[in-house]
Amino acid sequence: MNPGSPPKKNNWSWRSQAFRGVVYQIVAIAAITGVVWFLAHNTLVNMRIRGIQSGFDFLAQSAGFDIGESLYPFDSEESYWHAFLIGITNTLRVAVIGIILATILGTLLGVGRFSRNALVRGLCLTYVELFRNIPVLLQLLLWYVVLTEVLPASSEAWQIGHFFLSKGGLNYPIPVWATGQLWAAFGIVGSFVLIWIYRRWARLQFEATGQPRSGFWVPLLILIACSLIGWALGGAPTELNYPVRGEFSIENGGALTPEFLAVLLGLTLYTASFIAEVVRGGIASVARGQGEAASALGLNRNQEMRLVMLPQALRVIIPPLTNQYLNLTKNSSLAVAIGYPDVVSIANTALNQTGRAVECISIVMLVYLVTSLGTSLLMNWYNSRAAIKER
Amino acid sequence: MRISNLKTLAVVAAALGTLVTLPAHAGKTLDGIKAKGQVTCGVNTGLAGFGAADSAGKWTGLDVDICRAIAAATLGDAEKVKYVPLNAQQRFTALQSGEVDVLSRNTTFTLTRDASLGSTSTVTTYYDGQGFMVPVKSKIKSAKQLKGQTVCVQSGTTTEKNLTDYSKANKLNIKPVVYEQLEAAENAYFTGRCIAYTTDASGLASTRNKKAANPADHVILPELISKEPLGPMVRRGDDEWFAIVKWTIYGLIEAEEYGITQANVDSLKATSVDPVVKRILGTSEDTGKLLGLSKDWMANAIKATGNYGEIFERNVGPKSPLGLPRGVNNQWNKGGLMYAYPVR
Amino acid sequence: MSNSTTFQPIAPRPAPVNTEGPVAWIKANLLADWKTTLSTFIVGGILLWYVPQILNWALFKAHWAADFNLCKIEGSGACWGVVTEKYRAIIFGRYPFDEQWRPLVATVLLTGLLVASCMRMFWRAWLPVLWLVVLALFFVLMYGNVAGLSQVDTDRWGGLPLTILLASLSLVASFPIALLVALGRRSNLPAIKTFCTIYVELIRGVPLISVLFMASFMFPLFMPQGVQIDVLLRVLVGITLFAAAYSAEVIRGGLQAVPKGQVEAAATLGLSYWQTQRKIVLPQALAMVVPGIMNNFISTFKDTSLVAIVSLYELMGAMKMAVNSDADWRPYIMEGYFFIALIYFVFCFAMSRYSHWVEKQVNKSKLR
């Protein structure tokens, strides 16, 4: 027989914690709503007085300005939102490459702090302390000054084979787009599936027989083989667009501008020093007994790092590593000071041409929020896979 | 944490969607100036000839002199000016928000700025055009040779748009490298990152003569690819202050037309019989009262800075470091475009 | 005993392997096995090749006098004349030349206060009062208009005083906000939790530069007609809100690490929410997160360099303005950048060393 729960008594006096909680929340909501309404009211009044127009309709209008470098061609007659899209691709371009390079460099430096060799240890320590303690904007500007001062003028570019390096940037031969490349891309996608199948098979084999299979070289081989097969099936195009010395600069070919190189270099070196510290903290957090047990089992230092320390350290490393990835993406917004057309720079131009300050700045903030959200989601998924399952 | 991020996005999106209009009321710039006792003038951060400060903090330039004339007309003292250096992005916000009373910063008058940036054009003080500067050793003689080249430009200016228009019209496919700050753009040109630098021709002259290590190494190309009427701008919605700024500048231009100079303004005030001169200097009619100023408003202005011609000669004229010719900035009866409306 | 055998000493045995001393250290750290020896030679070789060249450029062939003609000589090294010539403009910005003793005294006072706050012997009850006094003195000295000092408006403030002012004020102001927001995020009241979460996630998801743009472009729109906020104050509010969000996350990490049993024990003792926080939770939590907070402090100090983008001439902006406006010295702007980098490095390195020291102090109880 279910006697039922006792009747709920609502105690409306100040002595009840629940009541106090409700009162606090009402006060907080009222205060914040009041402040937000006050700010919004002022904004609208001011905009009306000054004749500033508002609304997002400007996004459909023609942009009227060119963009110096972009992943794909942009014509000045296309709309503002197209320009913003180019800005976003520019930001992602430098962020993704920067994250990959910084992780590699940072891990090497972090592991290097535990090296047997005192010189290597000292170098890693010097690097980390030096690059951590100088503001990132200063580093970006320094690299830009160094690149534009040290590199020769475009008319006297350094040439190595078909590559040119000058103040105009790094010019390289770029394949002319044909169906072969498309098929190669399909091949790469197909190879991911094959690699996944291979890894499953390798893991099952290892658990059954104890025989380890190559975890890196065979997948790499599969990747290369599939892309070559795809390229061959697509007609095996070999035509390349070579850069040539023009009258004042290098023409044709693909180019990486000095702005892109400076931003990439500055961000990579800066973030790598932070990632090195994170990796060091992660490895230091693994109990010393693990390392000792590994050498008792006869693993050399390389194997010990790779098989015992790093996998355990990963759980401690991943949340702060996520932070550093987000920081790198956000620091790429400083490229506006150098002349790299990322999304902040495009928003700046749009803001000045249309006067819609609120809209442009909110677009920028929205872009970064979405990027942060995406990166956090990805790293949270990876973290939950690597997390220690607590009791 | 994911849910909270989504909630954040939703809140931001909702906040942006609530744009409601409300009634407006006009501001009183002149009252504010009289209360503060000074005119707040937005000027360039450092463009020699138009608005630049020396190391002691003394401001000189054509735009600066216009500010001083306005202060002299309004408050009787040309030194009662507070100069606020503004870069290209901040200038309109500073004007809109009331941080400055008048924006005298070699700003081009365009429709977009009048209609959507909350500002109003007053009177053109310098008719200019956009040009290119290249190093002499590049042997470029015309802007049409800049096919596919990199050009340094400052963001937030009409320069960017004009460059695109010119590039499109002449199928030049110019690659702009856009910098946020003026110094960064100039530096990039001087180190050789870009083959050319583009801005208003007067800005080119100023940069070449003041910031190049050797001015003779650089040449300004002959093409002027746009019309750039430069002049002070005021906030929208204050007709009284607009009238004061507008008529002060017309007064300076008309003073040159009728031969009133800084040197002879006192004697002309006392002894002149020319009715036009008497009206300008306030000896016959009190035009100042109609504007809300004192009787000697124009006399004070001319005494402080001289007439338009003198301002031009002192700051950007042929004898100044910039060495620009009068050209289209001459009086209308001498073949130029400066046509002052009658100050009466 | 007839045979008196004299003591025959045997040959001395070889000494045990030396594990102390420089030779042993080199053997262990640089020449341990063939791989280490190889890397020692490679790295050592690279260093021996490049370091003398760098030292040559930076010190031996460099020119220290304020004469740019010297620097134009072929084969000369760095031109530190830029610094000797322009150091006052770099360090004090556009402050009037004759009055530069005022920012000097103000900066020394504030830096002294910051250093003193770090030392244990100053952790007394009168420290907050001292902070208020020194801050008031700082503003009086910089702004003037009293005691015969001429007035200097905030747009003339620049250089090192501005950097230190922005950093210390935003640190001091952001800490209470961060504390409240961290507590709010862990509270059971859904409305407060939501607001705090939105605030932290919103601010952490956007770059500081967009917060500064918002502060400089949009704050004037937010204010009613006629009310004008100083640009310095706007930027300060922006940086403070930004730093508070990051500090809130760090403090929240510490709050999470306090075992639940502590709060439950406090409840059984009859402590209220605020008493629990004040007496039990926060002392433990804050002790744990001191390195994280110090990290945030160092980041905020470095982030003050971004205000150059909204035209406040702090250290980097002042240097660019001083060198760019002078065509003679502009080719040597790289030396100017190195000088600024050195100043930032000195400050940040000192702060990070201090943070290590604090961490060691706090963890003394955990050393076995």
Query: Which CATH number characterizes residue B249's domain?
Result: 3.40.190.10
A119, A146, A344 member nearest C44 (Cβ): A119
Q: List CB contacts (< 8 A) between C89 and chain B.
A: 55
Answer yes or no: is A203 within a domain.
no
Verify that B50 and B96 share a domain, yes or no. yes
Q: Which residue has the higher pLDDT, B126 or C216?
A: B126
Give the best residue of B117, B132, B189, B197 to mutate against chain A (max A CB count within 10 A).
B117
Tell me the DSSP string of B192-254.
Answer: TSSSEEEEEHHHHHHHHHHH-SSGGGEEE-S---S-EEEEEEEETT-HHHHHHHHHHHHHHHH
Distance CA B72, CA A318 (A): 65
Find out whether B344 and B285 touch, Cβ atoms under 8 Å: yes
Tell me if C205 and A372 make a contact (CB, 8 A cut-off).
yes
Answer yes or no: is A390 within a domain.
yes
Verify that B110 and B188 share a domain, yes or no. no
Distance CA C53, CA C56 (A): 5
pLDDT at C367 (0 to 100):
66
* Four-residue CA torsion sign, C125, C131, C134, C137: negative
Q: Give the predicted TM-score (pTM) of the model.
A: 0.84
Tell me if A352 and B92 make a contact (CB, 8 A cut-off).
yes
Comparing B136-145, B321-330, C212-221, C248-257, the range with the smallest average pLDDT is: C212-221
pLDDT at A387 (0 to 100):
62
pLDDT higher than threshold 60 for residue B292: yes
Verify that B121 and B178 share a domain, yes or no. no
Verify that B152 and B123 share a domain, yes or no. no
Answer yes or no: is B269 within a domain.
no
Helix or strand run (H / E) with residue B130: strand B130-135
Q: Under DSSP, is residue C15 helix (H, G, I), strand (E, B) or coil?
A: coil
Residues C152-204 pLDDT 10s: 877 788 889 999 999 999 988 999 999 999 999 888 888 899 999 989 988 88
Tell me if A361 and C213 make a contact (CB, 8 A cut-off).
yes
Answer yes or no: is A87 within a domain.
yes
Answer yes or no: is C144 within a domain.
no
Q: At what angle do helices C81-92 and C315-324 cross, to 10 degrees?
A: 130
Structural domain that includes position C198: 157-363
Copy the structure tokens of residue A160. 């190595």
Verify that B41 and B121 share a domain, yes or no. yes
pLDDT higher than threshold 50 for residue B25: no
Answer yes or no: is A262 within a domain.
yes
pLDDT at C74 (0 to 100):
75
As for how many domains chain A has, the answer is: 1
Q: Looking at residue B340, what DSSP letter applies?
A: P
pLDDT at A222 (0 to 100):
87
Tell me if B192 and A54 make a contact (CB, 8 A cut-off).
no
Answer yes or no: is C10 within a domain.
no
Answer yes or no: is C131 within a domain.
no
Using 50, 70 and 90 to split pLDDT, how confident is the model at C368? Answer: low
Write down which chains contact chain A via at least 3 CB pairs under 8 A.
B, C
As for how many domains chain B has, the answer is: 2
Answer yes or no: is C253 within a domain.
yes
Tell me if A372 and C191 make a contact (CB, 8 A cut-off).
no
Q: Which amino acid is at C45?
A: G
Mean residue pLDDT across chain C? 85
Tell me if C311 and B90 make a contact (CB, 8 A cut-off).
yes
Residues B26-45 pLDDT 10s: 347 888 888 888 899 999 88
Q: State the pairing for strand pair B102-108/B39-44.
A: parallel
Answer yes or no: is C269 within a domain.
yes
Find out whether A39 and A32 touch, Cβ atoms under 8 Å: no
B82, B98, B180 member nearest C309 (Cβ): B180
C89, C216, C324 member nearest B90 (Cβ): C216
Copy the structure tokens of residue A146. 């160094």
Verify that B245 and B123 share a domain, yes or no. yes
CA torsion angle A339 A341 A342 A346 (round to 10): 110
As for how many domains chain C has, the answer is: 1
Number of inter-chain CB pairs under 8 A, A vs C: 145
Tell me if B237 and A49 make a contact (CB, 8 A cut-off).
yes
Q: At what angle do helices B182-191 and B201-211 cross, to 10 degrees?
A: 70
Answer yes or no: is B331 within a domain.
no
Long-range contacts (CB closer than 8 Å, 24 or more residues apart) made by A157-161: A157/A245, A157/A250
Answer yes or no: is A158 within a domain.
no
Beta-ladder partners of A241? A174
Copy the structure tokens of residue B313. 């000669």
Verify that B103 and B244 share a domain, yes or no. yes
Residues B128-166 pLDDT 10s: 999 999 999 888 888 888 888 889 998 877 888 889 889
Tell me if A357 and C218 make a contact (CB, 8 A cut-off).
yes
pLDDT higher than threshold 50 for residue B289: yes
- Cα of A340 to nearest chain B Cα, Å: 7
Copy the structure tokens of residue A354. 């249309």
Q: What is the pLDDT along chain A (391 residues), one digit of tens a residue?
A: 567 777 777 777 777 878 888 888 899 899 999 999 998 888 888 777 777 777 888 888 888 788 878 777 788 788 898 999 999 999 999 999 999 999 999 999 998 998 888 888 999 999 999 999 999 999 999 999 888 888 888 778 888 888 888 888 888 888 777 777 788 888 888 888 988 898 888 889 888 988 877 777 888 888 888 888 888 887 777 777 888 877 777 777 778 888 999 999 999 999 999 999 889 888 888 878 888 999 999 988 888 888 888 888 887 888 888 888 988 999 999 988 888 999 998 888 888 888 787 888 889 999 999 998 888 888 878 877 766 554 4
Q: Looking at residue C279, what DSSP letter applies?
A: I
Verify that B176 and B245 share a domain, yes or no. no
Verify that B169 and B121 share a domain, yes or no. no
Answer yes or no: is B176 within a domain.
yes
Verify that B154 and B197 share a domain, yes or no. yes
Helix or strand run (H / E) with residue B120: strand B119-121
Answer yes or no: is B20 within a domain.
no
pLDDT higher than threshold 80 for residue B219: yes
Residues B164-214 pLDDT 10s: 889 989 998 888 888 888 888 888 898 888 889 999 998 898 888 888 888
Q: State the pairing for strand pair B150-154/B175-179.
A: parallel
- Whole-number percent of chain C with pLDDT over 70: 98
Q: Is B45 on the interface with C (CB under 8 A)?
A: yes
Q: List CB contacts (< 8 A) between B210 and chain C.
A: 327
Q: How far apart are the first and last CA of chain B?
A: 70
Residue of C nearest to A145 (CA): C334
Answer yes or no: is B107 within a domain.
yes
Give the best residue of C305, C321, C363, C366 to mutate against chain A (max A CB count within 10 A).
C305
Using 50, 70 and 90 to split pLDDT, how confident is the model at C347? Answer: very high
Tell me if B20 and A50 make a contact (CB, 8 A cut-off).
no
Tell me if A119 and C40 make a contact (CB, 8 A cut-off).
yes
- Cα of A254 to nearest chain B Cα, Å: 14
- What are the angstrom distances between the C-alpha of C268 and each of B136, C116, C272? 85, 40, 10
Tell me if B156 and A249 make a contact (CB, 8 A cut-off).
no
Using 50, 70 and 90 to split pLDDT, how confident is the model at B4? Answer: low
- Cα of A49 to nearest chain B Cα, Å: 6
Q: Residues B109-143, buried b or exposed e (16+ Cβ, 10 A)?
A: bbeebeebbbbbbbbbbbbbbbbbbbbeebebeeb
Residue of C nearest to A329 (CA): C207
Tell me if C344 and A149 make a contact (CB, 8 A cut-off).
no
Q: Which amino acid is at B108?
A: T
Answer yes or no: is A324 within a domain.
yes
Distance CA C168, CA C159 (A): 15
Verify that B159 and B242 share a domain, yes or no. no
- CB contact set of C11 (below 8 Å; sequence gap of 6+): none
Q: Is C226 on the interface with B (CB under 8 A)?
A: yes
Residue in A391, A367, A388, A359 with CA at minimum distance from that of residue A54: A359
Q: List CB contacts (< 8 A) between A348 and chain B.
A: 89, 155-156, 180
Answer yes or no: is B102 within a domain.
yes
- Cα of C320 to nearest chain A Cα, Å: 11
Verify that B240 and B120 share a domain, yes or no. yes
Q: State the pairing for strand pair B150-154/B126-128.
A: unpaired
Answer yes or no: is B314 within a domain.
yes
Distance CA B126, CA B106 (A): 8
Answer yes or no: is B292 within a domain.
no
Maximum Cα–Cα distance for chain C, whole Å? Answer: 122
CATH of the domain at C209: 1.10.3720.10
Answer yes or no: is C223 within a domain.
yes
Within the 146-165 window of chain B, which residues sit less than 8 Å (CB to CB) from chain C? none
C202, C223, C311 member nearest B8 (Cβ): C202
Answer yes or no: is A316 within a domain.
yes
Tell me if A148 and B192 make a contact (CB, 8 A cut-off).
yes
CATH of the domain at A111: 1.10.3720.10
Residue of B nearest to A58 (CA): B116
Answer yes or no: is C313 within a domain.
yes
Q: List CB contacts (< 8 A) between A373 and chain C.
A: 205
Q: What's the count of helices (H) and strands (E) in chain B, helices before strands?
A: 14, 13
Structural domain that includes position A326: 76-148+256-340+375-391
Find out whether A58 and A356 touch, Cβ atoms under 8 Å: yes
Structural domain that includes position B207: 130-226
- CB contact set of C288 (below 8 Å; sequence gap of 6+): C254, C257, C258, C362
Using 50, 70 and 90 to split pLDDT, how confident is the model at B104? Answer: very high
Residues C284-342 pLDDT 10s: 888 778 778 888 888 899 999 888 877 788 888 888 888 877 777 878 888 889 999 99
Answer yes or no: is C208 within a domain.
yes
Distance CA A217, CA A200 (A): 15
